[in-house]
Chains A and B, each alone.
Chain A
Amino acid sequence: GAVVSQHPSWVICKSGTSVKIECRSLDFQATTMFWYRQFPKQSLMLMATSNEGSKATYEQGVEKDKFLINHASLTLSTLTVTSAHPEDSSFYICSARGHGAVVGETQYFGPGTRLLVL
């Protein structure tokens, strides 16, 4: 089956620092990757859609200068939380859609990254 990894799984950082989270598709090529954020006891909220080789599409209300997304290859997308603040503390999850997958096909989720900003 399709496997998606995320690194790191846990990050604790000081306010004002930047944090980079990696999302990798291990056994398939992912043309499209999605980044979600989940606050405690809430559902997943899509932050942005990332397509390999092009700029990410951000959802309304998500600051693109604060959440930098790079999808440089078919197996790697990164999310950088710049100048992180305590309110950015959350569970960040990526998912990937396979190369050639038609719209409507399922996405495969990474294990998530818990970010705590002190």
Chain B
Amino acid sequence: EDKVVQSPLSLVVHEGDTVTLNCSYEVTNFRSLLWYKQEKKAPTFLFMLTSSGIEKKSGRLSSILDKKELFSILNITATQTGDSAVYLCAVIAGGTSYGKLTFGQGTILTVHP
């Protein structure tokens, strides 16, 4: 059974801090790993990672994938209160042609002013 595990489950920091969120996975026939940010509604897409060692960046957020060690990290630098959200990691895997996502439990990030 495909498994995605995120850590920590919850994180509380102050504005300006840098945070690192972790995602490890055990899946059959890995295709891609995705990071999403979820506030009150449905998840919004952040990054999709397919190859090892290539950092993806968007503003203060960056992410990298290690396919040998089967994990990914999401970094947020100079955090702001608006970064408070649940960050979800998901993997597309398996032999079907449908590309279903398996989600981790999520990391709840709270950024205090």
Contacts and interface: CB of A to CB of B under 8 A. Distances in A.
Contact of A43 (B31, B32, B106): B106
Interface in A68-107: 93, 95, 97, 101, 103-107
Interface residues of B, number: 25
B8 interface: no
A51 interface: yes
Contacts of A51: 98
Contacts of B101: 34, 44, 46, 95, 107
Interface string B50-68: 1000000000000000000
B31 A103 contact: yes
- Using C-beta atoms within 8 Å of the partner chain, give the interface range for chain A: 20 to 34
A49 interface: yes
A108 interface: yes
19 contacts: A32-B98, A43-B106, A44-B90, A44-B101, A44-B103, A46-B101, A46-B103, A49-B98, A49-B100, A93-B43, A97-B98, A97-B99, A101-B99, A103-B31, A103-B97, A103-B99, A107-B99, A109-B42, A109-B45
Interface of A: 32, 34, 42-46, 49, 51, 57, 93, 95, 97, 101, 103-112
Interface of B: 31-32, 34, 36, 41-45, 48, 50, 88, 90, 92, 96-106
